[in-house]
Amino acid sequence: MKKYDIGIDLGGTKVLCAIVEKESHKVLFEVKKKTKKEKGNKKIIQKLFEALDELFDISNIKKEDIESISIAAAGQINRKEGILLNGCNSGVKDLNLKEIFEEKYNIKTNLFNDVEAASIAELMLGAGVDNKNILCIFIGTGIGSSIVIDRKIYHGSTGCAGEIGHTIIDKNGRACACGGFGCLEAYASRSAIEARIQGLVKKGKKTIITELNDKQNISTKHIKTALDAHDEVTMMCVGEAIEYLSCAIASALNFLNPDLVILGGGLIQGIDEFYLKTVKLTKTKALPLAVEHVEFKKALLGDYSGVVGAVLAKDYYNVK
C-alpha cells in the first residue's frame, strides 16, 4: 500500500508543495515558491514543476510510493476534468492541471478549489469538527469562501458557490482582478490594502510602509509592523478593509444563518487585530437572530490548510 500523497496549494502569490503521510495527514516535506511576478499558464506550470521536482529531490521518496497528487487552486475550477478555468490573481485560464501532471509524473492527479480544500481540512481536522453548518472565509491575496451545509460542501449548480470575494459592494467601484467592478476582494483583501496604501503614497501621504518594503510588495508582515507602530495611513486602509469585510460577512450571516464562521488566510493568521475587529464589527451589523448563536473561530491548520485539505478532499469525495 502506498504511504504518501502530495498536496499542492496554488495561490495568488505562492506555490506550496508538500508530501503528506496518508495515515496521520502530517506534512513531512515541503517546498514553497513565490509566484507574484509569474503570471499565466506557462509560467505557473513552470513554477509548479520546479517546486514539485525540488520536493522529490529533498524528500528522497520515490514516485512509486506516492498515491496521488491533489491540487488546491485559487479560482474557478472544473473538478471532474481537473481544469483551472480562471485563476484571477495568477492569470491562469483553462489550464488542464490534471492532464499535465499525470502526463509528466504518471501519478493520479485531482484538482479542488483552494478554499474548498481548506474548508474540508478545517471540517475534518480543525476548527469545524463539531459543527454542521459552516461559512469558511479566507482573506489573503484575494478573498475566497466555502459553504458547508450538514457537513457537506455546497457547490451550487455550476460549482462556484461561495464566491463571497466577488460579492458586489459598489456597482461603480474599484476594478477587480476578475474583470468586474466593486467586488469585495477589491476592498478587503491584502492586495486591496496594498493597492490602497500605494495609491495614497502616490498622492503624497507619508507611511513607514515605504521604509519597510523597499519598493517590494507589501506583505502581511509589513502591514502588521506598520499597525504596531500606529502608522496612520496603514491604520486607515486596514480599517476601511475591515468595514467592508464585516458588512459582507454580516450579509452572509443574514442569508445563510450558519452556526460557525471560520476565518483564515494571511491577514487573519498574521494580524490578530484584523481578526478581532472584523468579528466585533460583524456582530454589530448582522441581524440579532443571525448572531445569537453563531461562533467565530480562526482556522487551525494555518499554511497547511490547502495542502492537507487537498489530500483530504480526495477521500472526502471518495475520488478513485
pLDDT band at 320 (very low <50, low <70, confident <90, very high): low
Return the number of other C-beta atoms located less than 10 Å from residue 172's C-beta: 6
Phi then psi for 317, rounded to 5 degrees?
-95, 0
85 and 214 inside one domain: no
Instruction: Assign residue 134 the CATH number of its domain.
Output: 3.30.420.40
125 in any annotated domain: no
87 and 200 inside one domain: no
In sequence order, what are the residues at sequence separation of 6 or more whose Cβ sits closer than 8 angstroms to the Cβ of residue 228?
none
Residue 185's domain spans which residues? Answer: 130-299
- More confident site: 186 or 34: 186
Q: What is the DSSP letter of 140?
A: S
What value does the mean pLDDT of the chain take?
93
90 and 168 inside one domain: no
Burial of 190 per CB tally in 10 Å (0-12, 13-18, 19+): buried
**pLDDT, tens digit, for every residue of 273-313?**
999 999 999 999 999 999 999 999 999 998 899 999 999 99
- What is the model's pTM? 0.93
138 and 34 inside one domain: no
123 in any annotated domain: no
206 and 106 inside one domain: no
In 3D, which of 195, 201, 209, 205 has the Cα closest to residue 240? Answer: 195
Whole-number percent of the chain with pLDDT over 70: 98
Q: What is the pLDDT of residue 212?
A: 87
Angle at 128 between CA 316 and CA 219, to 5 degrees: 95
Cα distance between residue 27 and residue 18, in whole Å: 6
Q: What is the pLDDT of residue 37?
A: 64
21 and 56 inside one domain: yes
269 and 232 inside one domain: yes
Report the SS3 class of residue 106.
coil
57 and 89 inside one domain: yes
19 in any annotated domain: yes
pLDDT band at 39 (very low <50, low <70, confident <90, very high): confident
Q: What is the pLDDT of residue 1?
A: 65
230 and 257 inside one domain: yes
In sequence order, what are the residues at sequence separation of 6 or more whose Cβ sits closer than 8 angstroms to the Cβ of residue 222?
209, 212, 213
59 in any annotated domain: yes
**pLDDT, tens digit, for every residue of 84-133?**
998 877 888 999 999 999 999 999 999 999 999 999 999 999 999 999 99
Q: What is the pLDDT of residue 273?
A: 96
56 and 159 inside one domain: no
DSSP E strands, 38-165: 66-73, 76-78, 83-87, 92-96, 109-113, 134-139, 143-149, 152-154
pLDDT of 51 above 80: yes
Phi-psi region of 95 (alpha: psi -120 to 50; beta: other; left: phi over 0): beta
DSSP E strands, the chain: 4-10, 14-21, 27-34, 66-73, 76-78, 83-87, 92-96, 109-113, 134-139, 143-149, 152-154, 260-264, 295-298
Q: What is the pLDDT of residue 253?
A: 97
Q: What is the pLDDT of residue 172?
A: 92
25 in any annotated domain: yes
48 and 161 inside one domain: no
Cα distance between residue 78 and residue 174, in whole Å: 28
Q: What is the DSSP letter of 159?
A: S
Q: What is the dihedral of CA 73, 42, 142, 195, to 10 degrees?
A: 170
156 and 287 inside one domain: yes
Q: What is the DSSP letter of 182?
A: S
Angle at 77 between CA 52 and CA 183, to 5 degrees: 110
Cα distance between residue 75 and residue 94, in whole Å: 11
How many domains in the chain?
2
**pLDDT, tens digit, for every residue of 225-276?**
999 999 999 999 999 999 999 999 999 999 999 999 999 999 999 999 999 9
Residue bearing cell 507589501: 218
Cα distance between residue 84 and residue 285, in whole Å: 35
Cell numbers given for 69? 497528487
Q: What is the pLDDT of residue 86?
A: 87
